[in-house]
Chains A and B, each alone.
Chain A
Amino acid sequence: MTGAVAIAAVSEMKPARYPDKDGHALYIEVVRQLLAEWHLKPGDIQGLLACPAGMAGGGSADIFVHEQLYEELGIHPLYGDTMNAGGATYGYMVQRAAVAIRQGLADSVLCIGAGKFPKVSTGGAELMARMVSHEAFEFPYGTFIPAIYAQVATRHMYEFGTTAEQFAEVAVSSREWALRNPQAATYGTEPLTVAKVRASRPIATPFHLYDCSIPLEGGAAILVANESVAKRIARQPAWLLGMGEYHSHRNIHQAADLKDIGCGRAGRMAYERAGLGPGDMQFAQIYDAFSVNPLVFMEELGLCPRGKGGAFFASGAARPGGNFPVNTYGGLLSFGHTGDASGLSMIVEGARQVMGVAGDRQLPRADIGVVHSYGGMMSEHSTLILGRQS
């Protein structure tokens, strides 16, 4: 399969609580912002992929959301679907869109999501635990999403001597970036320190409150396009150089190896298809429901040596001015986690850095970067390599 494909336009709401907007109203707001920012015409959207937003609906899913959206847009797509793979949904949308575009099914595909993170303290924790853990062999043991992620953290501590303070460093680094991003939920707040993270309320060892992403609402849209459409819409498109996908498990106790949870397998495929390696990457955007993810996935993606993720974040290399920036928009830890739409945020930022439109946080070197997202309990993985030259 050949043919250059790029992310030609991106737009994202600021994560917040939007009590006056239901899931559908959030979708409409995302589309409205995209159209306003990029002046798209009806012919610019030939395909549409949307997410059913099951968390926003309290576990129910709007399985016809793409139909409603294309009707409201007044377009008749040649390619369309509603799909869900949790946080990996949008990485997979970009991958599906790229395949469709290279096959000539459509010149462009709009990938879109909006979501509401359920309120954890009022039933949200139970709702989500039921959604993500086996109803017979996990949920009866009192599953809790932070404690599920903590299995990976505890095992990493055991195998490599990683410390709780090193996980906290990930949250500190993310906050540094969020303070440079007016769209981040924590913009205008105070910097974090390791001591502040460790002094925050204990949730599930080794995680304290600030090791956890911030539950909010929002949404975003990404227009994936072929070369002619991309060049017409964007001065500098973010070319899709490589992509990889790997589905490991659903339930955390079924993961074959908690330090090789599927991220690296998707990553290796993406590097290979791009004809590049980890050493060619200049930044990474890594899905971070908890502080553990960027630390372990830096290793899985080959961006730092095995067992050295903790030392990498403690060195400050991921922070502004560091030699390998990570989650330059603040991550879900400090930008905010928009529930079903959260898997868009790191793709939007990866594209913005490559497109050179990242504002005050624009990296001096953003020619090639890697964007990793996953769905479920680190169950299924998507890696995208984005670059300035097709």
Chain B
Amino acid sequence: MNDTTIPAKPLPKMTPGAEHYWQSATREQFVLPHCKACAKVFFYPRVWCPQCLGQELDWVHASGRGVVYSFSVVHQAPFPAYRGDVPYVLAVIELAEGPRMMANVLHCDPATVRVGMPVEVTFEDRGEMKIPQFQPAPFLRRTSRPWPQ
């Protein structure tokens, strides 16, 4: 097959309670849900608090900082949309606010990614949306190889 067209990457499915999260990301703002009753900041957004089951929720502007909790460098594209990306980093990021989330670590050589590495949020275009992603935090950027963009 000489098919060189790479399909678009998947968009997140809209799930109850998460609309504001994605709308914010599309404006390049990284927000986390916060429970008014028990003050828990949690991930992922949903219509109740997973700590106290309260439904009075609002949003906090997150620092966008975190560290790599764990990761894997993917060498075999799981589906055609990722054919042009391998090797890429699939990681679990521990946010400064406490919760963990999944993301890719972008804008770096995958071989340089380490557990515990400080990262900061960045936003990746996905059609009409943007999704939160992470990249090495600035002070690391100065000590390592130059980054694209």
Residue of A nearest to B126 (CB): A140
Given contacts A147-B90, A154-B115, A204-B75, is CB(A136)–CB(B14) below 8 Å? yes
Number of interface residues of A (CB under 8 A): 39
The number of residues on chain B lying at the interface, defined by a beta carbon within 8 Å of a beta carbon of chain A, is 36
- In the complex, how many angstroms separate the beta carbon of B119 from the nearest chain A beta carbon? 14
C-beta contact mask, A124-145 vs B, less than 8 Å → 1, else 0?
0110010001111111111110
**Besides A123-B79, A139-B12, 12 other A-B contacts (C-beta < 8 A):** A129-B79, A136-B14, A137-B102, A141-B104, A142-B9, A142-B78, A142-B82, A146-B76, A147-B72, A158-B116, A204-B73, A258-B70
CB distance from B22 to the nearest CB of A (A): 8
CB of B62 within 8 Å of the partner chain: no
A126-B79 in contact given A136-B15, A143-B90, A252-B92 (Cβ < 8 Å): yes
How far, in angstroms, from A252 to B103 measured CA to CA in the complex?
Answer: 12
- Closest Cβ of chain B to A381, distance in Å, is 19
A214 to chain B, nearest CB (A): 16
Q: Does B30 contact A (CB under 8 A)?
A: no
For B114-126 the 0/1 string (1 means CB < 8 A from A) is 0110000000001
Check: A155 CB closer than 8 A to any chain B CB. yes
Asked if B100 CB lies within 8 Å of chain A CBs, one says: yes
Q: CB-CB contacts of A256-287 with B at 8 A, as 1s and 0s?
A: 00100000000000000000000000000000
Assembled-state Cα–Cα distance A201/B115 (Å): 24
Does B145 interact with chain A (Cβ within 8 Å)? Answer: no
Is A183 part of the contact surface with B, judged by Cβ < 8 Å?
A: no
Q: Tell me which residues across on chain A come within 8 A of B70, comparing CB atoms.
A: 151-152, 154-155, 158, 258
Query: In this complex, what residue of A is CB-closest to B22?
Result: A136
Q: Kindly provide the distance from the CB of A327 to the nearest chain B CB, expressed in whole angstroms.
A: 23
**What's the Cα separation between A158 and B71 when bound, in Å?**
11
A119 at interface, CB cutoff 8 A: no
> What are the 9 A-B residue pairs with the smallest beta carbon separation, nearest first?
A150-B72, A144-B78, A126-B79, A135-B13, A158-B115, A155-B70, A147-B72, A202-B75, A125-B78
A159 to chain B, nearest CB (A): 9
Q: Restricting to B90-104, which residues have a CB under 8 Å from any CB of A?
A: 90-92, 100-104
Could you tell me the distance between the alpha carbons of A71 and B75 in the complex, rounded to whole angstroms? 47
